[in-house]
Amino acid sequence: MQNNGFVYVASLRRGYYRAAKNSALSLLDYWPEAKITLFTHAEWVEPEDYAIFENIITYGVPYHKRAKLWALDKTPYDLTVYMDCDTEVQHDDIRKIFEQIPDDVDVIFTDNRPYNAALTKLSETEEMTEHCGLFVYRNNEQTLKLMSAWWGEYCKQNEPGYDRQHYPKEALQWDTFTMWRLLTYGDMGVKTGRFPDPDAKWNFVIGYKQEELQGQEIVIYHYTLPPSVLDK
């Protein structure tokens, strides 16, 4: 039997930690047996939090806005659902989320919606289509290599003097851009896929059109934390 579970990463600003706890509690409302691991900072952890999370990992977690990329290759699970902290589970179909990844696929994403994203189109022929705020991935050699490279390449693209070639400067802040480049040009040996239609029900981002659901219910709602609560 596979050891499957969920991973959250809360770093840099305390509001993300509270959001991760709230999201995990919403998950447990619909799936009390769900296994959940949190990567975060030791000074934020409260004793009662160990009743929510199977694992709370604090050693080495960087104080970084993209600390999730550092954590992904350290998952303790065979199949992992990574979820951003600013999410809420709203339907018991969450129990079926691990069934969405085909046996021959390493990682599945939902699609970006250009009308609701800060940046998707990079050139006339290049577009970032993966939404990197929620995905399911396997604990195998090629996928963990991809996750490790994601962190390393993101750090490089934000160093002074990085050669962004013809890509817009604003793309460099997005981990979606890093993933897109790795999958497009990185020869990672990873087979990717998409959640089945309607994929939006698994990652319904604030601002999405209701018709994206095709009459189905939202399983995971993805909101945005206001800046005013991030440091409280």
Question: HEC profile for 177-229?
Answer: HHHHHHHHHCCCCCCEEECCCCHHHHCEECCCCHHHHCCCCCCEEECCCCHHH
Confidence of residue 89 (pLDDT cuts 50, 70, 90): very high
Q: Quick: pLDDT tens for 19-29.
A: 999 999 999 99
Strand bridging mode 79-83 / 87-89? unpaired
Domain 4-115+129-140+187-229 adopts which CATH fold? Answer: Spore Coat Polysaccharide Biosynthesis Protein SpsA; Chain A (3.90.550)
Residues 12/66, Cβ–Cβ less than 8 Å: no
Band of pLDDT at residue 1, cut at 50, 70 and 90: low
Name the band, by pLDDT with cuts 50, 70 and 90, for residue 203: very high
Domain ranges of the chain: 4-115+129-140+187-229
Asked if pLDDT for residue 210 goes beyond 80, the answer is yes
- Alpha helix positions (H), the chain: 14-30, 67-71, 141-157, 175-185
Q: What is the pTM of this model?
A: 0.97
143-158 pLDDT, tens per residue? 999 999 999 999 999 9
What is residue 122's DSSP assignment? -
